[in-house]
Structure 1
Amino acid sequence: IFTVSEQLTQKFYDANPHAFTVTNGVDLKHFSTQQLEPDDMKQLPHPRVCYVGVIQQRVDFQMVHEAAVLSPDVSFIFIGPIWHDADIGTVKNLKNVYFLGAKKYNQLPGYIQHSDIGLLPHHLNDLVQSMNPLKLYEYLASGKPIISTPVPGTEQFSSDFITIVRNGRALAGAIRSVMSRQQLLKPQQLQDSVLSYSWESKVHSMLQKVFAAYR
């Protein structure tokens, strides 16, 4: 049995000791190949903080609201379909929060690459604790630093690349801090941090476990 998180692996382990954690991976070439700036981003001012993914109740919009009010010069950009359970009411009328809708997979790198920071503002509920967010790897493969709540997977990377926050005030402060040292963080450093997370390496790891089980 393969799962993407330790929490899920532990749920299966007692029944089957051949349960293993293999975290999500990333298409390195897809997200590192430079794309043109999307037309619907061109008028949005920098700094740009971008979330890419399904917009649902796991996103902490109370945190986003507090940070957006404290940071009126920052553009908070959300890319993805909005589910009915998403609590966007507090932010949808803020002038610096933008919902650009769902995009095709081949368009996503352009939105991330032309942002300044990747955002992971997830609630820390049971669902999130069992996840291993794809966005984590996609942001880094695009050469972008991340600000995130302490979701599983963030502990794998340097605090130079991922800043952990727990509330809106901390998020606003982290944005200022990351932007102030932006010149010190080279995109190549961030991309190099996920070289071992390619989908090819994940398949190789899984096959090793399968072959070992039959020896």
Structure 2
Amino acid sequence: MTDALPGSVAHASALSQPARRSLLLCLSHLRWNFVFQRPQHLLTRAARDHDVIFFEEPLFQPGIVPRLDLHRVPEGVTVAVPLLPEGLQGPAIAAAQRSLLDGLLEAEAGREMIAWFYTPMALEFAAHLRPDLTVYDCMDELSAFRGAPPRMLDLERALLGRADLVFTGGRSLYEAKRGRHPRVHCFPSSIDAAHFAAARVTQPDAADQAALPRPRIGFFGVVDERMDLGLVAALAAARPDWTFAMIGPVVKIDPEGLPRLPNIHWLGGKRYAELPHYLAGWDAGFMPFARNESTRFISPTKTPEFLAAGLPVVSTPITDVLRDWGPKEAGGPGLVEIAADPVAFAAALQAVLARPRGPWLKQVDRRLAQLSWDRTWAEMKGLIAARRTVTRLPAREEASAARIA
């Protein structure tokens, strides 16, 4: 928290007021209403036990006075969006964010708080906070993404220096971070299986894909520098008898550069609730990820989501997909096919389209039964509780506990 009330005042306040839930302040580079993914899954569950504030990056508008737009979303999270005047630059942006954050937290002085970071860049305006616990949920190697700020790596070092716990979004990230902090824990992509299993039920087609010929090969997710657009174009050109349905917002790349063949259909972003309805009308999924620095550490959440929907899926050889879902010879369970080039990709898709689903689905469901976002959050919650117990120990007792451990 920011500076707490003096001890006597805080004690009197605690006696006169009912106990409040702890505050979880999430500092995120992603927007709550952008794509429903790891942060939304975890923080929706965190909101059962904490008051969760999701503090987003600023939006800029002409001629306004800096202010916070606060609104509560149906998942029980309060989203805070800094609104800043256009033309603000560098340190002035960070100063305005800090002022708005301090104003938001002013009424929370003395309250237990967890600071939950998704981006090290938030330290530019939040480094002065003194939370009871700091969590760095490293879901991506952001420094490898297009447009990453030059200070990202320096700020990540600072964040690792102050974090009590570090969670990673996959095994590759875990291996990259585990030597940089004493308490790094691997939490790969998980699944709300019941949500996506709705795609296995026969249902009327989504209106904007009802006229698309079959078989349909689908992708859903963010369309950015991580997609191999050349692979998509080559596949579509090689198989004009297949339809490629592409769902997701286009960011950080020029939409004019997307391949525009007659059998590629860019359907735009869809709400999380709509995805099973679209997937129900597909015959297979594909993950045409480029192999570059931005995909080196990714563990795509869509992998188990495709599987829960009952769709066979082919992916480029992304390390975490290979090891967690790919062929048995690569150490995986043999649930996802892997292909590195357009010819192999087309052959793998042809094979999964022709393959009987029953035996494969039984294997899929056995694997997915071991995963859930509820389970992931429960394990994270346990680590947080254990660490809070340690941080509450007086310094001498903590040193003794460390020697015993």
TM-score scaled by length of structure 1: 0.88
For 1:22, which of 187, 195, 200 is the aligned residue?
187
For 1:147, which of 303, 314, 321 is the aligned residue?
314
Deviates more, 1:40-49 or 1:202-211: 202-211
Q: Deviations over 1:20-72 (max 9, x none)?
A: 11012111111112454211111111111100011112110111111111111
What corresponds to 1:138 in structure 2? 305
Q: Deviations over 1:73-112 (max 9, x none)?
A: 11111001122415763621x1111111111110011111
SS at match of 2:244: strand
What corresponds to 2:257 in structure 1? 89
Deviates more, 1:168-177 or 1:77-86: 77-86
The number of residues matched between the two structures is 214
Q: Any unmatched runs of 5+ in structure 2?
A: 1-165, 328-333, 391-404
For 1:31, which of 196, 205, 209 is the aligned residue?
196
User: Is it true that 1:121 corresponds to 2:288 in the alignment?
Assistant: yes
What corresponds to 2:178 in structure 1? 13
* Structure 1 residues 117 and 185: CA distance shift in structure 2, 3 A: farther
What corresponds to 2:367 in structure 1? 193
Q: Which amino acid aligns with 2:376?
A: K
Deviates more, 1:54-63 or 1:9-18: 9-18
TM-score scaled by length of structure 2: 0.49
Larger Rg: 2
Contact 1:50 1:76 in 2 (8 A): yes
Q: Any unmatched runs of 5+ in structure 1?
A: none
Q: Which amino acid aligns with 1:204?
A: A
Between the aligned partners of 2:367 and 2:259, the Cα distance in structure 1 is 33
* Structure 1 residues 116 and 86: CA distance shift in structure 2, 3 A: farther
User: Is it true that 1:157 corresponds to 2:331 in the alignment?
Assistant: no
User: Is it true that 1:169 corresponds to 2:343 in the alignment?
Assistant: yes
* Structure 1 residues 7 and 161: CA distance shift in structure 2, 3 A: closer
Between the aligned partners of 1:143 and 1:135, the Cα distance in structure 2 is 12
Contact 2:172 2:320 in 1 (8 A): no
Q: Cα RMSD over matched residues?
A: 2.3
Identity %: 28
Contact 1:62 1:90 in 2 (8 A): no
SS at match of 1:103: coil
**Quick one: higher RCO (CA 8 Å, sep 6+), 1 or 2?**
1
